[in-house]
C-alpha cells in the first residue's frame, strides 16, 4: 500500500471509529434530567375554558351541592359529613353549604406524591405535572393478530404489569383488566394486587369489590412492603374508588370501602364517571359541572373522615355518541372534557386525574392511533396530573391489547414531547450556529456539534414506529407495526422478572391463594 493509501485508510478508520463512538454514545441511557421526555413534565398551556368559564362552572357546582345535594350516603358517611356541616334533608339527601365546601377545600391535601416501590418511580402531582398510565378494568384481552376477544385472566394482568415496568413513558399501572378466571371476589381482589405488584414497582391503582375485602388486601400490602410501618411511610397502591353513581348519588359500598382505605393509609382516587347524555348532562360544560360537584362532595367526605388525606380529584366524565347512546371515549368531545376537567383541578389547586387515550376502535388500527394521539396530547397540554387509560384500551374500555400497550408507549412519548414544548434558551436562539454553517462551514447542519449534542435530548424517537424511506422499507421486507410491537412485547416479557422478593413471595403464597 502506498503512503497516501495508508493515510487515507487511517482517516477512514478514524471516521469509522468516530461514528461508532457517536452511535455508542447515542445508544447509552441518558441521565433522567437529560431525557427529552420524562414523568412530570409541566403542561397547562392548552385552556379550552376561559377564566370566566371556570368561575361559572365552579358557581354552578356549588349551586348543585346546595340545592340538589347527593343521596344514599352510608350512615358512617352521613355522620362524618353532617358533623362537619353538611345538612341531611327529609328527602335523605345531603346538601353542602358553600362555607363547608370552602373549609374542606382549605384542608385538602395538595402537592402530593404517589409513591412507587422504587423511589425513582415516585409521581409528583404538584402544579401542572403530567403523568400517563393505565386503567379501565377491561373484561377482554384483544389478540391484535387475529382480532379475537377472550376473557382476561390474572396471568394477563401480570403480563401487562411486567410490560409497564419496562415502558418508560407509562408512568403508573392502575388495574387495566379484570381477572375473569377467578370466581371468588376476595381472591380476585387479592390476586389483582399481587399480579400488579409482582409485575411492576411503579405506583399501582386498584379497587375493592366489597368493604370486607379491604382488611385482607391491606394485610397483603403490608407483607409486600415489609410491614405496616414501611407501608404507611410509602404507600405504593392507591384506591381507585367510584364513590358516586352519577347523577348525584353516593355508591354506598364503595364509600364504606373508601373509609376503610383512608384509615389504612391508601391514597384515594375520587372517581366520578358520568356519561354525557346518559348519566351526566349532554352539554360538555354541564357534564363538567356535575363531575366537579360530585368530586367536591368527595373532598368534603374524605376530609371529614381524615383531614388532609391524599386524594385525587377524579372528575372523569365520559362521552356518549348521542345517535346510539354508546360510549365514545376516543372522541374530540372526550378530549375537551378531560382538558376542561384538568383546568378545574388547577382552579382548586388540587391534584387531579381524568381519562385519555381510550379508543373506540376494536383493534390497534389507524382509528385507534388518532383517538389515542388526540386525547392523550390534549390532556397533557392541559396539564392533567394523571392521565388514566392512556394506553392499551379498546372497544370503549371493554378490551385491553398488549401490543397496543407497547405502541401506546410511543404515542405517549410523542404526546409528552408536545407537553414539553419549545425550549427558548440563549443557546437555542443563538445565531452562532447559523453563522458557522452558512459563512464558514458546509452549508448544512448534518454532523454539526450542536445537532449531535441535541439529537438525543431535544428529539424523541419511536421505538416501534417506522420512519424508513419506501426504499429502505422494501429492503427491510416491509416491516409491519404490529409485528414490531409483538416482538418488543415478547422481548420484554422474556426478561421481565417478578418484582416481589422470593422469600416474601413464598410467604404470600402460603397465606393466600395466588393464581399467577
pLDDT tens, position by position, 102-161: 999 999 999 999 999 999 999 999 999 999 999 989 999 999 999 999 999 999 999 999
Residue 240: domain span: 106-421+503-511
pLDDT at 26: 57
Query: In this structure, is residue 486 part of a structural domain?
Result: no
Query: In this structure, is residue 401 part of a structural domain?
Result: yes
Region 459-476 average pLDDT: 96
Query: In this structure, is residue 463 part of a structural domain?
Result: no
Tens digits of residue pLDDT in 501-512: 999 999 999 999
Name every residue whose Cβ is closer than 8 Å to that of residue 278 and which is 6 or more positions away in sequence.
320, 325
Name every residue whose Cβ is closer than 8 Å to that of residue 406 and which is 6 or more positions away in sequence.
163, 167, 464, 485, 488, 489, 492
List % helix, strand, coil for the chain (3-state, nearest 5).
50, 15, 35
Question: Above 60 in pLDDT, residue 10?
Answer: no
Three-state secondary structure readout of 124-175: ECCCCEEEEECCCCECEEECCCCCCEEECCHHHHHHHHHHHHCCCCCCEEEC
pLDDT at 32: 80
Query: In this structure, is residue 361 part of a structural domain?
Result: yes
Confidence grade of residue 35 (pLDDT, cut at 50, 70, 90): confident
Tens digits of residue pLDDT in 257-297: 999 999 999 999 999 999 999 999 999 999 999 999 999 99
Query: In this structure, is residue 76 part of a structural domain?
Result: no
Tens digits of residue pLDDT in 381-404: 999 999 999 999 999 999 999 999
Mean pLDDT across the chain: 94
CA distances, 134 to each of 244, 245, 387, 454 (Å): 21, 22, 8, 31
Question: Above 80 in pLDDT, residue 23?
Answer: no
Tens digits of residue pLDDT in 197-223: 999 999 999 999 999 999 999 999 999
Question: Above 60 in pLDDT, residue 98?
Answer: yes
Confidence grade of residue 19 (pLDDT, cut at 50, 70, 90): low
Name every residue whose Cβ is closer than 8 Å to that of residue 222 and which is 6 or more positions away in sequence.
228, 231
Could you give the CA distance from residue 144 to residue 157 in angstroms, rounded to a whole number? Answer: 17
Question: Above 80 in pLDDT, residue 417?
Answer: yes
Query: In this structure, is residue 443 part of a structural domain?
Result: no
> Phi/psi zone of residue 149: left (φ > 0), alpha (ψ -120 to 50 degrees), beta?
beta
Q: Is 351 helix (H, G, I), strand (E, B) or coil?
A: coil
**CA of residue 7 relative to chain centroid, distance:** 57
Contact of 317 with 273, CB cutoff 8 Å: yes
Domain at 331, CATH number: 3.20.20.480
Query: In this structure, is residue 133 part of a structural domain?
Result: yes
- Residue 194 has phi, psi (to 5 degrees) of -60, -50
Query: In this structure, is residue 82 part of a structural domain?
Result: no
The closest of 314, 313, 318 to 287, measured between CA atoms, is 318
Confidence grade of residue 99 (pLDDT, cut at 50, 70, 90): very high
Contact of 458 with 423, CB cutoff 8 Å: yes
Question: Above 70 in pLDDT, residue 7?
Answer: no
**Count of beta carbons in the 10 Å neighbourhood of residue 95:** 18
Total domain count, the chain: 1
For the purposes of burial, counting CB atoms within 10 Å of the CB of 427, is it exposed (0-12), middle (13-18) or buried (19 or more)?
A: exposed
pLDDT at 166: 98
Amino acid at each position: 500500500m502506498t503512503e497516501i493509501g495508508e493515510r487515507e485508510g487511517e482517516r477512514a478508520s478514524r471516521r469509522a471509529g468516530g461514528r461508532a463512538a457517536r452511535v455508542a454514545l447515542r445508544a447509552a441511557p441518558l441521565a433522567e434530567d437529560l431525557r427529552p421526555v420524562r414523568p412530570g413534565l409541566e403542561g397547562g398551556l392548552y385552556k379550552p375554558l376561559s377564566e370566566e368559564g371556570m368561575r361559572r362552572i365552579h358557581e354552578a357546582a356549588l349551586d348543585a351541592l346546595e340545592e340538589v345535594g347527593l343521596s344514599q350516603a352510608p350512615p358512617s358517611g352521613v355522620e362524618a359529613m353532617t358533623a362537619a356541616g353538611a345538612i341531611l334533608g327529609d328527602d335523605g339527601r345531603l346538601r353542602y353549604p358553600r362555607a363547608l365546601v370552602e373549609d374542606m377545600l382549605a384542608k385538602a391535601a395538595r402537592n402530593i406524591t404517589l409513591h412507587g416501590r422504587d423511589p425513582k418511580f415516585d409521581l409528583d402531582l404538584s402544579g401542572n405535572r403530567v403523568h400517563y398510565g393505565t386503567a379501565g378494568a377491561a373484561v377482554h384481552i384483544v389478540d391484535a393478530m387475529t382480532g379475537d376477544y377472550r376473557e382476561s385472566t390474572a396471568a394477563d394482568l401480570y403480563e401487562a404489569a411486567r410490560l409497564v415496568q419496562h415502558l418508560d413513558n407509562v408512568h403508573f399501572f392502575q388495574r387495566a383488566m379484570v381477572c375473569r378466571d377467578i370466581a371468588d371476589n376476595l381472591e380476585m381482589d387479592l390476586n389483582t394486587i399481587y399480579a400488579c405488584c409482582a409485575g411492576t414497582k411503579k405506583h399501582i391503582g386498584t379497587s375493592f369489590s366489597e368493604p370486607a375485602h379491604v382488611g385482607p388486601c391491606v394485610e397483603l400490602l403490608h407483607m409486600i412492603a415489609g410491614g405496616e410501618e414501611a407501608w404507611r411511610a410509602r404507600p405504593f397502591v392507591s384506591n381507585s374508588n367510584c364513590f358516586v353513581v352519577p347523577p348525584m348519588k353516593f355508591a354506598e359500598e364503595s364509600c364504606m370501602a373508601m373509609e376503610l382505605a383512608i384509615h389504612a393509609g391508601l391514597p384515594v382516587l375520587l372517581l366520578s364517571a358520568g356519561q354525557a347524555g346518559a348519566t351526566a348532562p349532554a352539554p360538555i360544560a354541564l357534564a363538567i359541572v356535575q363531575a366537579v360537584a360530585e368530586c367536591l362532595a368527595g373532598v368534603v367526605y374524605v376530609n371529614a373522615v381524615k383531614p388532609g388525606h391524599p386524594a385525587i380529584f377524579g372528575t372523569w366524565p365520559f362521552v356518549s355518541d348521542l345517535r346510539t347512546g354508546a360510549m365514545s371515549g376516543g372522541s374530540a368531545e372526550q378530549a375537551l372534557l378531560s382538558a376542561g376537567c384538568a383546568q378545574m383541578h388547577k382552579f382548586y389547586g388540587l391534584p387531579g386525574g381524568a381519562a385519555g387515550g381510550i379508543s373506540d376502535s376494536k383493534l390497534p388500527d389507524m382509528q385507534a392511533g388518532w383517538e389515542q394521539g388526540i386525547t392523550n396530547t390534549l390532556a397533557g397540554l392541559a396539564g392533567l396530573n394523571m392521565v388514566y387509560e392512556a394506553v392499551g384500551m379498546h372497544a370503549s374500555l371493554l378490551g385491553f391489547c398488549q401490543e397496543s400497550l407497547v405502541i401506546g408507549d410511543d404515542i405517549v412519548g410523542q404526546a409528552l414531547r408536545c407537553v414539553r414544548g419549545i425550549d427558548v434558551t440563549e443557546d437555542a436562539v443563538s445565531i452562532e450556529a447559523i453563522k458557522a454553517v452558512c459563512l464558514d462551514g458546509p452549508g448544512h447542519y448534518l454532523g454539526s456539534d450542536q445537532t449531535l449534542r441535541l439529537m438525543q435530548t431535544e428529539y424523541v424517537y419511536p421505538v416501534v414506529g417506522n420512519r424508513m424511506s419506501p426504499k429502505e422499507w422494501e429492503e427491510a421486507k416491509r416491516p409491519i407495526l404490529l409485528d414490531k410491537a409483538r416482538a418488543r412485547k415478547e422481548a420484554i416479557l422474556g426478561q421481565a422478572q417478578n418484582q416481589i422478593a422470593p422469600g416474601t413471595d413464598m410467604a404470600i403464597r402460603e397465606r393466600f391463594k395466588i393464581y399467577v
